Amino acid sequence: MRSSAKPAAMIIAAGLTLAAGAAAAQDALGHAVNWQTGFQAATTEVADRTHGVHSVLLVIITIITLFVVALLGYTCFRFSAKNNPEPRRFTHNTLVEVVWTIVPVIILAVIAGPSIRLLYFQEEIPPADITIKGVGHQWNWEYTYPLADDQEINFTSIMLEKDEAEAEDLPWLLATSDPLVVPVGKVVRLQLTASTVIHAWTVPSFGVKMDAVPGRLNETWFRPDVVGTFYGQCSELCGKDHSFMPIMVKVVPQEEYDAWVAENLAALDGGDQPTRLAEAR
């Protein structure tokens, strides 16, 4: 028994080690990694609250699953032909029917509370420090930063080729030519639309997923609390290059963000339009 249990324990330990290592790597990289079993690390309050609701639901559904499995096991044993040769003849049980009606209502009420609070928190956009407009094209994202004095920063963000990403030590299929740049600790209001077909702007670390629909303007928000680079992808099937439409967001200190804005404005004032258009992939 010991010899057979030892390899199993080693396999379990190795699996836990890989999972822990994957989680640590993901925390550092801002994107999913191999062997990852949980969410990406939350870097906004929205994501943190979403993970909290998920944890509550996980406990509830685990208890329900164990109860149902135990009930099925008891029923199969107690009312088998061997243990119950003379079947009982009844059509209903009032107490059981009342219980299986009231208990699910209570469970749904418990779930509804945190879910509704999270929904309202996601939908109510606080006063924004920065507003960014994103337009989904086939297959890239165009961003516009409206600034004072009718100025704006505008650029198109497209996926880097494999050799370009490797040269900059960035993850291929996630890295982009011009990332979205936002300051840490600031509320970012993101307005989304699309030019041709529906896209979805999704960054798991921020807990943000919003459709970009042609002819409509959807809004969402996030306030990143961690400096770093975070990745996402279009999450709505939008054509043949849907999987080559990544999102890359650099969260930087306020001073670095101000310098980035000043650099782009200087390029604009100098006649070097900061719009970076690229061929659709």
Q: Is the pLDDT of residue 275 over 70?
A: no
Same domain, 21 and 80: yes
In sequence order, the β-bridge partners of residue 250 are: 181, 229
pLDDT tens per residue, range 10-58: 444 444 333 444 443 344 468 878 887 888 888 999 999 999 999 999 9
Own/partner contacts of 63-67, CB < 8 Å, gap of 24 or more, are: 64/107
State mean pLDDT over 249-255. 94
Q: Tell which of 99, 123, 147 closes a domain.
A: 123
How many Cβ atoms are within 10 Å of 171's Cβ, its own excluded?
18
Q: pLDDT averaged over the chain?
A: 83
CATH of the domain at 43: 1.10.287.90
Q: How many CA atoms lie within 13 A of 190 on its CB side?
A: 28
CATH of the domain at 256: 2.60.40.420
Q: Tell which of 75, 102, 123 closes a domain.
A: 123
pLDDT tens per residue, range 200-214: 999 999 999 999 999
Same domain, 179 and 216: yes
Give, in degrees to the nearest 5, the angle at Cα 54 between 234 and 71.
125
Please check whether residue 276 lies inside any domain of the structure. Answer: no
Please check whether residue 78 lies inside any domain of the structure. Answer: yes
User: What b-and-e string marks burial along 15-27, b requiring 16 or more CB atoms within 10 Å of the CB?
Assistant: eeeeeeebbeebe
Number of domains in the chain: 2
Same domain, 139 and 206: yes
Domain that holds residue 175: 130-269
DSSP element (H, E) containing 154: strand 152-157
Same domain, 20 and 90: yes
Q: Of the spans 14-18, 254-258, 265-269, which averages the highest pLDDT? A: 254-258
How many Cβ atoms are within 10 Å of 61's Cβ, its own excluded?
12
Residue-level pLDDT at 222: 94
